[in-house]
Amino acid sequence: MGEFPAPVLDALRQPLEEGVVRVARARANVTFPARFLLVGATNPCPCGQGPRDACRCSPSARTRYARRLSGPLLDRFDLRVIVARPDVDGLLRGPPAEPTASVAERVAEARTLACRRGVRCNAELPAHRLDEVAPLDPAATALLEHQLRAGWLSARGLHRVRRVARTLADLAGGGRYLGEEHVCLALGLRAQPLGSEEAA
Amino acid sequence: MTPPVEAYAAALAGLPGMGPKRLLALLQRWPADEAWSRVSAGGAGVDGDLGRVWREAAAATDVCAVWRAHVDAGVGVHVLGAARYPTLLAADHEPPALLFSRGDPGVLDRRRVAIVGTRRCTRYGRDMAEELGRDLAGAGVCVVSGLALGVDGAAHVGALAAAGAPPVAVVGSGLDVVYPRRHARLWEAVAGSGLLASEAPLGARPEPWRFPVRNRVIAALAEVVVVVESHPTGGSRYTVEAAEARDRTVMAVPGSVRSPASAYPNALLADGCAPARDATDVLVALGLSTATSGAPVPDLRPPPGPTEARVLEALGWEPATLEQVVARTGSTPGEASVALSRLERDGHVSATGGWWERIAAVGPGRGWGRAKG
Q: What is the rounded CA–CA span in Å between residue A166 and residue A150? A: 23
Instruction: Tell me how close the Cα of A176 comes to any Cα of chain B, in angstroms.
Output: 17
CA angle B307, B309, B311 (to 5 degrees): 70
Per the DSSP assignment, residues forming a β-bridge with A21 are A32
Which residue of A45, A47, A52, A192 to mutate against B (max B Cβ within 10 Å)?
A52
Contact B150 A184 (CB under 8 A): no
Contacts of B260 in chain A (CB under 8 A): 53-54
Nearest chain B residue to A80, by CA: B354
The predicted pLDDT at position A198 comes to 39
Phi, psi of B274 (to 5 degrees): -75, 140
DSSP, res A23 = E
| Cross-strand pairs, B145 | B169
Distance CA A90, CA A16 (A): 36
3-state SS class at A162: helix
Residue of B nearest to A192 (CA): B353
A-chain residues near B119 (CB < 8 A): 58-59
Cα distance between residue B133 and residue B187, in whole Å: 16
At A7, the amino acid letter reads: P
CA distance A81 to A185: 11
Distance, CA of B365 to CA of B359 (rounded, Å): 16
Angle between helices B333-345 and B322-329 (to 10 degrees): 110
Q: How far apart are CA B343 and CA B329, in angstroms?
A: 15
Mutate to test the interface with A, among B307, B338, B342 (most CBs of A within 10 A): B338
SS (H, E, C) chain B: CCCCHHHHHHHHHCCCCCCHHHHHHHHHHCCHHHHHHHHHHCCCCCCHHHHHHHHHHHHCCCHHHHHHHHHHCCCEEEECCCCCCCHHHHCCCCCCCEEEEEECHHHHHCCEEEEECCCCCCHHHHHHHHHHHHHHHHCCCEEEECCCCCHHHHHHHHHHHHCCCCCEEEECCCCCCCCCHHHHHHHHHHHHHCEEEECCCCCCCCCCCHHHHHHHHHHHHCCEEEECCCCCCCCHHHHHHHHHHCCCEEEECCCCCCCHHHHHHHHHHHCCCEECCCHHHHHHHHCCCHHHHCCCCCCCCCCCCHHHHHHHHHHCCCCECHHHHHHHHCCCHHHHHHHHHHHHHCCCEEEECCEEEECCCCCCCCCCCCCCC
Q: How far is CA B285 from the centre of its chain?
A: 20
Rounded to two decimals, the pTM is 0.65
Q: Identify whether the C-beta of residue B254 lies closer than 8 Å to the C-beta of residue B269.
A: yes
pLDDT at B282: 94
**B interface with A, Cβ–Cβ below 8 Å:** 119-120, 122, 149-150, 180, 182, 259-261, 319, 321-324, 327, 333-335, 337-338, 340-341, 345, 351-355, 371-373
Q: Per DSSP, what are the bridge partners of residue B355?
A: B352
Kindly state the helix (H) or strand (E) to which residue A144 belongs, with its residue range.
helix A138-149
Chain B CB contacts of A172 below 8 Å: 334
HSE-up of residue B325 (Cα within 13 Å, Cβ side): 31
For B163, what's the count of Cα atoms within 13 Å in the CB-facing half-sphere? Answer: 5
Would the CB atoms of A196 and B353 count as touching at under 8 Å?
Answer: yes
Partners of A24 in beta bridges: A29
- Sequence length of chain B is 373
What is the distance in angstroms between the Cα of A157 and the nearest Cα belonging to chain B? Answer: 17
Cα–Cα distance for residue pair B46/B72, rounded to 1 Å: 32
Q: pLDDT 10s digit of each residue in chain B, 373 long?
A: 688 999 999 999 999 989 899 999 999 999 999 999 999 988 777 777 888 899 999 999 999 999 999 999 999 999 998 888 999 899 899 999 999 999 999 999 999 999 999 999 998 999 999 999 999 999 999 999 999 999 999 999 999 998 889 999 999 999 999 999 999 999 999 999 999 999 999 999 999 999 999 999 999 999 999 999 999 998 999 999 999 999 999 999 999 998 999 999 999 999 999 999 999 999 999 988 655 444 555 677 888 988 899 999 988 887 888 888 898 888 888 889 999 988 988 889 988 767 888 887 765 444 343 333 3
Considering only the beta carbons, identify the residue of B321, B333, B337 that sits closest to A84: B321
pLDDT of res. B364? 47
pLDDT tens track, chain A, 200 positions = 878 888 888 888 889 888 899 888 888 889 999 888 899 988 888 887 766 556 777 777 877 888 888 888 888 888 988 777 776 776 777 777 788 998 999 999 999 999 999 998 898 888 899 999 889 999 899 989 988 888 888 888 899 999 999 999 999 887 888 888 899 989 888 877 655 443 33
Nearest to B323 by CA among B358, B360, B356, B372: B356
Query: How many CB atoms within 10 Å of residue B326?
Result: 19
Contact A192 B327 (CB under 8 A): no
Position B290 scores a pLDDT of 58
**pLDDT at site A53:** 56
Amino acid at the residue A194: L
Residues from A in contact with B at Cβ < 8 Å: 44, 51-55, 58-60, 81-82, 84, 87, 90, 143, 146, 150, 152, 172, 180-182, 184-185, 187-188, 191-198, 200
**pLDDT (0 to 100) of residue B367:** 38
Confirm if B239 and B116 have CB atoms less than 8 A apart: yes
The residue of chain B nearest to residue A56, with distances taken between CA atoms, is B120
Closest alpha carbon to B133 in B87, B168, B101: B168
Exposed, middle or buried by CB within 10 Å (0-12, 13-18, 19+), for A134?
A: buried
Beta strands in chain A (DSSP E): 20-24, 29-33
- In this prediction, residue B292 carries a pLDDT of 46
Q: What are phi and psi for residue B279, nearest 5 degrees? A: -65, -30
Q: Comparing C-alpha atoms, which of B220, B171, B203, B10 is closest to residue B98? A: B10
Quick check: A81 and B354 CB within 8 A?
A: yes
Report yes or no: B45 and B29 within 8 Å, Cβ to Cβ.
yes
Q: How far is A26 from chain B (nearest CA, A)?
A: 45
The size of chain A, in residues, is 200
